[in-house]
Structure 1
Amino acid sequence: MSKDVLIEVCIDSVESAIASEQGGADRVELCDNLMEGGTTPSAGAIAEARARIGIALSVMIRPRGGDFCYSEVDLAIMRRDIEVAKQLGADCLVFGMLTPDGDIDVPLTRELIALARPLPVTFHRAFDVARDPYQALEDLIAVGADRVLTTGQEASVIEGLDLVAELVRRAAGRIIVMPGGASERQIGRVRAATGAMEFHVLSTRTVESAMRFRNERVFMGGTLRPPEYERQVIDPAAIRRIRAGAG
């Protein structure tokens, strides 16, 4: 395997942060609410993740699910969360803002990047719903973003592979283009097709609840009714296979 390849694991718990490191990950992206695409994790989760892992810790800065066109209240929350994440030991911050017309919100992105410094910044998959991916790429380079996470504006990185490869080519080292979502069976193909050197992955196993008493009539979520007595945690063995598959 090549340690030139960087593996970042998307996680929503400190337990998964620990498992990711055990599996050989180089960095984790700590989020909450992965069913919403990821929102800002709690201060407690950031602090405990930082205390319990030795690998790099990226922190999602996203105040809510839904779109990426933010109100002044949303932005005030993001500014505060950036400061908190920096104070708690984050190594990288992850955010993304669009205009109502689907372009990168250049002034706001520049402002939040300045607030995030000296930490590097990843512009997340808001990029994948931008109107023009090539203009969006140039805008992110212009404002100083360090990397962009993308599946090539498709539901999966395999479907978006041609665009990801073209983005890597156009970036020409000016920004890191990080493909997202490749499985252990796909990552070798994605690397070969794109030449990317950083990959954002997610691979979990189901963990049963420790509860012996279970009231099956009650659920705590919305109408999708997620299972109350099991949860998803990163599978270290799968992360090792992903790293091996990256070559």
Structure 2
Amino acid sequence: MSLTYEICIDSVAGATAAERAGAHRVELCAALFEGGLTPTLGTVRAALAAVSSIKVNVIIRPRGGDFIFDEHEVAAMEHDVALVRDAGAHGVVIGALTPEGRVDRPVTERLVAAAGGLPVTFHRAFDMAADPFATLDALAGLGIDRVLTSGQDVTALEGAPLIAELVKHAGDRIIVMPGGGITDRNVARVAEATGAREIHFAALSEEPSPAVHRNPYPFMGGELRQPEYRRLVTTTAGIASVIQAAR
């Protein structure tokens, strides 16, 4: 069975790299170090303008940390869903839980309604849910199209046994898409072990900043920080190597 490849990206260049490599879809994010946050509307529009043969789904997540959102965060997400929908995004990626680890149904219903019929993916908030099978059933009932999961483990390879059970449990009701730590070294094993039809991965490589003048003293983040003069970029070669390994 042929696989659908979704690439996690944080830039317009990442979208074009994914298109060149033959991927089918991207998940456009900001702040991958935080696990992915809502990108700017300008970035969404620029990415959509830059590609023609690949779908652009947009994550809607206002902050890092847990997936329990207050009324102001929910209002912001609802507004962001509408904005990216109107900008022409092909789908949205959401996730909200209750403190007990169940799907936050009222929030999910609001965001699905705001999507206005666009495909909706429930992101790896799923991996923090208390009961994966009940959660999958709830999401299918709410009209969610797919779930991104590492099988509630560190990586999708380690979580493959649970993912395989989820794929069987889902049937044709909802797509279960493995993601988390997938590389060209393990993608074939993940696909074979899970029976999944779609695969989600990032293909990031370090690239030095083009800055010639560099001040080594100030930094633009917290005490746990990324180097100022190094970038992580999505590469066509990195994506292509995973796709080739899967085949």
User: Same fold per TM (> 0.5)?
Assistant: yes
The aligned runs of 1:1-247 (5 Å cut-off) are 4-54=2-52, 55-181=54-180, 182-247=182-247
CA distance in 1, matches of 2:221, 2:14: 21
Whether the 8 Å contact between 2:78 and 2:110 is mirrored in structure 1 is no
* Partner deviation per Cα, 1:104-128 (whole Å, 9 max, x = no partner): 1122212211221220000000000
* Partner deviation per Cα, 1:162-193 (whole Å, 9 max, x = no partner): 00000001001110000003111111111111
CA distance in 2, matches of 1:211, 1:191: 41
Taking structure 2 as the reference length, what is the TM-score of the superposition? 0.97
Q: Name the % identity.
A: 48
Whether the 8 Å contact between 2:91 and 2:118 is mirrored in structure 1 is yes
Cα displacement (A) at 1:160? 0.6
CA distance in 2, matches of 1:26, 1:38: 19
CA distance in 2, matches of 1:223, 1:11: 25
* Secondary structure at 1:64 match in 2: coil
Cα displacement (A) at 1:225? 2.3
Amino acid at match of 1:27: R
* Secondary structure at 2:58 match in 1: strand
* Partner deviation per Cα, 1:135-166 (whole Å, 9 max, x = no partner): 00000011110000000001111111100000
* Secondary structure at 1:141 match in 2: helix
Bigger relative CO (Cα 8 Å, ≥ 6 apart): 1
Gapped runs of 5+ residues in structure 1? Answer: none
CA distance in 2, matches of 1:114, 1:212: 48
* Partner deviation per Cα, 1:174-228 (whole Å, 9 max, x = no partner): 1000000311111111111111111110111112111111101111111112111
* Partner deviation per Cα, 1:70-121 (whole Å, 9 max, x = no partner): 1000001001101110111100100001011110112221221122122000
CA distance in 1, matches of 2:63, 2:127: 17
Cα displacement (A) at 1:62? 0.5
CA distance in 2, matches of 1:42, 1:125: 21
CA distance in 2, matches of 1:245, 1:197: 15
CA distance in 2, matches of 1:16, 1:48: 12
CA distance in 2, matches of 1:16, 1:164: 27
* Secondary structure at 1:228 match in 2: coil
Stretches of 4+ moved more than 6 A in 1? none
CA distance in 1, matches of 2:156, 2:135: 18
Taking structure 1 as the reference length, what is the TM-score of the superposition? 0.97
CA distance in 2, matches of 1:245, 1:172: 26
CA distance in 1, matches of 2:116, 2:171: 23
